[in-house]
Amino acid sequence: MKIRCLIVDDEPLSQDVLKKYIADSPMLELVDICFDAFEANDKLQNDDIQLIFLDINMPKLSGVRFVKTLSNPPLVIFTTAYPEYAIEGFEVDAVDYLVKPFSFERFLKAINKAVEKINFANMKTAAGNRFILLKADKKVYKVNFDEIDYLQSFGDYIKVFTSEECLVVHDTVKNMLEQLPPEEFLRIHKSYIIALSKIQYIDGNQVKIADQLIPIGANYKDDLLKTLGEKS
């Protein structure tokens, strides 16, 4: 099945390049072309769009600000003539960003990332969402939720600690939280997510899991105690 996509860009030349690249990609289907975020918002409300090619620097409302207004955004590949906007783009979990002018090969690399994300999501849905797929060491690991003890972020990576191993994946805390069931996992520190069922005990501002003492952030302790109180 083809990925239904939308171009959101106010520059006709950029639109033409994307339109040609999409036409040359058998896995893509172009639904429409929009000149600004407001036009795109109407299209998203009335059509099934899986992927947006979104210009960051647009009049009225920037691409990044537009994505932040969406409650359930599709996958986003940002396009921009300004490389300095790349970091801002990844703050909203963009699949990739393309710096204009970009080649078809670079475009295809971004598309492959989107295809991978969609395939992961489809596999999880088919399995009842009882596991997460993690890409580490050039492999894709299927990890059941009940095997995870806790997760620790460092820089642009996440360490996922299970009862058997530690997997290092390129991801963000925010994105990982969105993939984990909220009734089973909780963020207790800016750098840590824990499996609630694996808690052995709480000692002051630390929690014991799998022979490790994990810090509890001051801004997260009330949520942890409230959650545990609701479960008791």
pLDDT digits (tens, 9 = 90+) for 164-187: 899 999 988 888 888 888 889 999
Give the contacts of 211 (CB within 8 A, at least 6 positions apart). none
Q: Which residue is associated with the tokens 């939308």?
A: 6
Structural class in CATH, domain 131-231:
mainly beta
| Residue 172: per-residue pLDDT | 86
Is 153 in contact with 215 (CB distance < 8 Å)? Answer: no
Residues 185-202 pLDDT 10s: 999 999 999 999 999 999
* Residue boundaries of the structural domains of the chain: 3-126, 131-231
Q: Which amino acid is at 165?
A: E
CA separation, residue 227 to residues 3, 84, 185, 196, 207 (Å): 39, 40, 10, 9, 14
CA 87 to chain centre: 14
Asked if residue 210 has pLDDT above 70, the reply is: yes
| Residue 159: per-residue pLDDT | 96
| Residue 150: per-residue pLDDT | 97
Is 143 in contact with 149 (CB distance < 8 Å)? Answer: no
C-alpha 88/C-alpha 80 separation (Å) is 12
Q: In terms of DSSP bridges, do strands 96-99 and 75-80 run parallel, antiparallel, or are they unpaired?
A: parallel
Full strand arrangement of the beta sheet holding 96-99: 28-34, 3-8, 51-55, 75-80, 96-99
SS3 123: helix
C-alpha 7/C-alpha 31 separation (Å) is 8
Structural class in CATH, domain 3-126:
alpha beta
Asked if residue 230 has pLDDT above 70, the reply is: no
| Residue 198: per-residue pLDDT | 95
- Under the banding of pLDDT at 50, 70 and 90, the label for residue 59 is confident
| Residue 32: per-residue pLDDT | 95
Nearest to 160 by CA among 194, 131, 188, 189: 194
Helix/strand/coil percentages in the chain, nearest 5: 35, 35, 30
